[in-house]
Amino acid sequence: MERTPATLADGRQIIWYDADGTHRVPSVDRRPLEPAVVMSQMRHDPLTGEWIAVSSARQNRTYMPPADECPLCPSRDGRMSEIPSPEYQVVAFENRFPSFATHIEGVETRSDWFDQVRPATGRCEVLCFTSDHDSTFAALTPAQARLVVDAWADRTADLNELGVVKHVFPFENRGIEIGVTLQHPHGQIYGYPFIPPRAKTELLNAADYRAGYGHNMFEHIIAFEQAGPRVVASNEEWIAFVPFAARWPVEVHLYPLRRALDLSELDDAQREAFALIYLDILRRFDAMYDSRLPYIAGWQQAPAPDPGDEIATALRDEAWLHLELTSIRRGPEKLKYLAGSESGQGAFVADILAEPLAQRLRELA
């Protein structure tokens, strides 16, 4: 992989990722943009103990432009986009409308129990999987998918080195049903200034399991699912299964059989094998109905290394990288909405058992 960094007109970072032998020369962003100013803040919820990010700039982000005005397509034919080059393979850049940023202006820290406010320091990036506006991740070749994995790994390593980032979360939202505002094949990477609730809950449960049973919980989950009826696909390095207590209408988790804390720790064999099994699973998703399945794909990784934080270090010791892939579609014309129990109490009621869902996905090979 070749890595070519540059700076956009308003000071944001951009990085091209290309196959070896490309030898890219960084392009110059000639748009007349003002320097990026971010004023996001975090507010503490005393009821849950969680931090809520507030970013009013996101109200002004681009929403579903036509293909010839897409900001994620290459810059060509006289039109300038977020990527100042006439072509690209994979590219990452700082989000123009971020929830978190490394430099926050105009936000004062307040620490009263019911009035806790902090600058939303962190990082938000966009990762474009291909320059082809009409493609999807599922349509990538294994080599293209592997390049995306390498970019994810590189961004994880870089963001873990930022002192303001405590947890790195690469993810993809696909489909207007999910709330996507740009149709171009892309994902995002959030560098949170805290360990987010889902990751923290999983890792705390893993720590409790270690205390009670003396083993890594994720390793035992893999062994449990390998012996059960919920495996959808596997290869020499990865297993994909519908989890026993799946909460979404379609849900598949992908685990490396050899432990890695985060994407940057995956070796060549693991990266190659992931590209193959992930493309397989996504294509099964798209074969379920007549239209493409909307989904969220999110990587669960270890917290960023922080020797001064005993809790983060303890949680990191239990981590096992995995991808959680979920869809809200429960039928050809039906979506699962988070109604009273799910939204009001976070108590999910699933619409289908995991075993028949796994069987159906196996049949869609």
Encode pLDDT of 205-236 as tens digits: 999 999 999 999 999 999 999 999 999 999 99
Q: Which residue has the tokens 């685990």?
A: 255
Q: What share of the chain is helix, strand, coil (3-state, %, to 5)?
A: 30, 25, 45
Check whether 184 is labelled as a binding-site residue: yes
Check whether 124 is labelled as a binding-site residue: no
Residue 223 CA, chain-centre distance (Å), reads 25
Judge whether 123 and 86 are in contact, CB under 8 Å: no
Handedness of CA 160, 163, 166, 172 (dihedral sign): negative
- Is 186 catalytic? The answer is yes
Does the pLDDT of residue 181 top 70, yes or no? yes
List the catalytic residue out of 23, 44, 167, 186: 186
> Poorest-confidence range of 64-68, 147-151, 313-317, 352-356?
64-68
Encode pLDDT of 334-351 as tens digits: 999 988 999 999 999 998
Identity (one letter) of the amino acid at 335?
L
Helical pair 197-213 and 217-226, crossing angle rounded to 10 deg: 90
Check whether 73 is labelled as a binding-site residue: yes
Query: What would the two tokens of residue 343 be?
Result: 């939204």
- Which pLDDT belongs to residue 192? 98
Judge whether 128 and 88 are in contact, CB under 8 Å: yes
Write the burial class of residue 142 (CB in 10 Å: 0-12 exposed, 13-18 middle, 19+ buried): middle
**Domain 2-195 class?**
alpha beta
Q: Which residues of 322-337 are buried (b: 16+ CB within 10 A; e: fewer)?
A: bbbbbbbbbeeeeebe
| CB atoms near residue 236 (< 10 Å) | 9
Check whether 128 is labelled as a binding-site residue: no
Q: Do domains 2-195 and 198-363 have the same CATH topology?
A: yes
Pairing of strands 90-94, 329-331: unpaired
Three-state DSSP class for residue 258: coil
Encode pLDDT of 278-323 as tens digits: 999 999 999 999 999 999 999 999 999 998 899 899 999 999 999 9
Domain spans of the chain? 2-195, 198-363
CATH number of 198-363: 3.30.428.10
Q: What is the pTM of this model?
A: 0.96
